[in-house]
Amino acid sequence: MDVSSLVAMLAVLAVGGYWYTSLSALEIARAAGARACREAGLQFLDDTVAGIAWSLRRDERGRRVVQRSYRFEFSESGDTRREGGVVLMGDRVISVTLEPYRILDETV
């Protein structure tokens, strides 16, 4: 095996590894957004999240990990669309935020 074949194989493996971890992180973010909406009594719209940013950061142990940010949409009544966000550091959820929304009075 020559050097160029080895470099090409390593590049394919690196891209494949990044793709696999990105899909895993996407599913973790989707579950975190859906859970936050369910706990707040909100509708998690479109059952999906969208990646908006990523960067390399150091975790609490000093290791370099990818920090990914995702956005999703939710609704309190089905009539509006509001935005929420999920931030992951590696495969750990760091924060889930929800845009301010109106709390509906269900007794009316």
Model pLDDT, residue 107: 57
- Token pair in block for residue 14: 């690196």
Residue 77: its pLDDT value, please? 85
Q: What is the mean pLDDT of the chain?
A: 91
Q: What is the C-alpha separation between 95 and 34, in angstroms, rounded?
A: 13
Are 96 and 85 spatial neighbours (Cβ–Cβ below 8 Å)? yes
Between 88 and 5, residue with greater pLDDT: 88
Q: Identify the helix (H) or strand (E) that includes residue 87.
A: strand 82-89
pLDDT tens-digit readout, 33-53: 999 999 999 999 999 999 999
- Bigger pLDDT: 77 or 69? 69
